[in-house]
Every structure is written in C-alpha cells, then in structure tokens.
Amino acid sequence: LDYLVDCYFSTVGQNSNVLPNLSPNKEGIIPEADARRMIQFGRVIGKMKKNDLARGARAKALSGWAGNPESGLLFDGSPFTGWATPDGTTRAEIEIRLSGKQEFNVIKLQENVRDYGQRVERFAVDAWLDGQWKPLAESTTIGFRKMIRLPKAVKADQLRIRFLDSRKSISFSNFSLYYLAPLSTEDNVEAVRKLNRKEWKITVAGKNLPAAQLERLKDGKTDTYVEIGLPPQGCDIVIDTGKVQKIAGLIYTPVMEGGPGHIEMYDIRLSRDGKTWGKPVASGRFGNIVNNPVEQEVNFVPVEARFVKFSAKKGADGARKAAVAELDLL
C-alpha cells in the first residue's frame, strides 16, 4: 500500500498517469489479493481528496497579476478558470487566507493547460508560521496537476505562492490542500491473514539445504532467495507449520531482479501427518510472472492441516531453475 501511494504521488501527482498493470488469472479475473489492494488504495486516495481544506479560502494578488482577479476562481475546482499575468510577466505572488487554521500535508496546484499550455518553470510555497513566512516546498513545473507531499503535516491559516519563473505569462487555475492520514504498515495490514512462520521447518525435496539457507524463505526480505531446480518431474517444497491448524491459501513471492527464473505451473497439497497428501487443494499457472514478478496469492477452501507441499511443476519460459524469495500461508 505504501508503494502504491508513493506511485500515485510520483505519477498522477506529477502531471502523469499511474498504470498498475494488473494481470488477469486463468479465470480471466484480477486475482483477489490484487483486487483487494486496489480497492484499499482507492479508498486511501478517495478519503484524502474528499475534503479540500482550501475550499472557502480567499486569495490576494501581491504582485504580477493583471487587473483585480476574482479570488474564488482559484478554489472553484475547475482547471479551466483562474488567474493570468500580462504578456511577458514571468514572476508573480499570491497570498492565500484559509477559512481557519487547517492541518495539511499535501498541496495541489494546477495550470489551465487547455487554453494556455504548460508555462510555469519554477515556484515555491510558504506558510505563515510563528509570525513569519517559512518555506514549505519549492519545485519545477505544474502543468495540469502538481501534488506536493510534505514530509510532515503543517497547521496554518495563511500561505503564499511565489511563481519564480515561467516560459511566458503565468496561468494559474486551481489550488487545493489535503490531509493524507498515516498508512498502516504492510505487516499490520496482513497480520490478521498470514500464519505465524516462527516455528516453521522447510525442506526442499532432493536437496540437503542447510537450515540457515532455508530461513531465507521466511526472513521477510524479497532480495534473498532459495534456488530450486526444475527437472521434468518438478520440485517439492514442504512446510511443516508445527501444528494442525486451518490453512486457506499460499503466497509465493518470486525475486523481482537477478534470480535464475520463476515458477509458472504449480500444485498445492495438504497433510495432517506429512505422509498422506491426497489430491491437490489448488493447482494452476502464475500468469505473466516474468513481466510482473510480484506476490502470487493462491486461495482455496480452508483445510485443517499441519504440512503443506508446494510443488513447482514447470518454470516460466522454459527455465530449469527458479528463485523463491518468500513463502506465506493464509
């Protein structure tokens, strides 16, 4: 979630688009884990944008602006109305008075690019704090949308925008302030669903790997991994969870970069004693894993079991080896 929100501010917030690049599974739908995260991501951004803290503010032209521009145009939510400077005027200042002291950590500015194109080259935003103007941010270009995420929240009722350079005269159309609430960490989000890995014992069939090396499969690091071979008959990774418990899914995390290959075809079997396995509770293909090497979540009907056998049946693109960074059970 942290990563998605960072992506939002580095793409949408920088006058661009965000492309999650979600891949449908073999049933033609977005996998549950990905869909759940996208919904969560949308709620975070939607909650932030629901309350524009600059709404109802008043703007005062300090220097550079033509005539006596209408204050409310900067806070009407439209990117196609706003203020402009005379031809050749490339520096200007605005003072903004909010309806009261507001706590914010996101600043959004917009130009009217439909009618005037992108013009602003450099600008700065200050806040009136402790009886003086203090700089909050300085950046380059605005375009249709520029969002600045402050390192910590600020509480103020007056701001100043200084347009320091522009290609031509300045066109400024909209100003907004938001508060982005602190995000839950990845561990907090998933702790309710993931089983405790502390007592796990993991083995790889046909390999006498040291326990320290197998710890990489549950060390919480995606840049360490265990390499397994993928002969024609496949390779089995067996997890002894230490006790009989309800198991409802498995997450395989491949290595994003530098690994020898990825698992493509798989099946999963469960056992109470580690001897009797029965039919697979899940089997299938990790689609597009080479181009999108992210967490692969497999869900199945919950079963009371102690042992899990994760069988790699085939490598992606014909790979004869695969790197497994992390394994989790749900």
| Token digits of residue 64 | 């550079």
pLDDT of residue 187: 44
pLDDT of residue 265: 92
pLDDT of residue 67: 83
pLDDT of residue 256: 80
Q: What is the rounded distance in angstroms from the CA atom of residue 77 to the CA atom of residue 98?
A: 15
List CB contacts of 55: < 8 A, sequence separation 6 or more: 75, 99
CATH architecture of 1-191: Sandwich (2.60)
Nearest alpha-carbon partner for 242 in 196, 192, 282? 196
User: How are beta strands 296-315 and 263-271 bridged, if at all?
Assistant: antiparallel
List CB contacts of 104: < 8 A, sequence separation 6 or more: 53, 150, 153, 154, 155, 177, 178, 179
pLDDT of residue 324: 93
Quick one: DSSP state of residue 222? T
Q: What is the rounded distance in angstroms from the CA atom of residue 257 to the CA atom of residue 260?
A: 9
Reported as a pLDDT band with limits 50, 70 and 90, residue 3 is confident
CATH 2.60.120.260 location in the chain: 1-191, 193-329
Q: What is the rounded distance in angstroms from the CA atom of residue 107 to the CA atom of residue 128?
A: 15
Using one digit for the tens of pLDDT, what is the confidence trace for 237-255? 999 999 999 999 999 999 8
| Token digits of residue 29 | 């739908």
Using one digit for the tens of pLDDT, what is the confidence trace for 63-119? 999 888 999 999 998 999 999 999 999 999 999 999 999 999 999 999 999 999 999
Residue ranges of alpha helices (H) inside 216-271 are: none
Which of these CATH numbers, 2.60.40.420, 3.40.50.2020, 2.30.30.40, 2.60.120.260, describes 193-329? 2.60.120.260
List CB contacts of 256: < 8 A, sequence separation 6 or more: 222, 293, 294
pLDDT of residue 186: 55
Reported as a pLDDT band with limits 50, 70 and 90, residue 191 is very low
Reported as a pLDDT band with limits 50, 70 and 90, residue 266 is very high
Using one digit for the tens of pLDDT, what is the confidence trace for 274-312? 999 989 999 999 888 888 888 898 989 999 999 999 999
Q: What is the rounded distance in angstroms from the CA atom of residue 284 to the CA atom of residue 286?
A: 7
Q: What is the rounded distance in angstroms from the CA atom of residue 238 to the CA atom of residue 235?
A: 10
Q: What is the rounded distance in angstroms from the CA atom of residue 80 to the CA atom of residue 82?
A: 7
Percent of the chain with pLDDT over 70: 98
CA-atom Rg of the chain in angstroms: 27
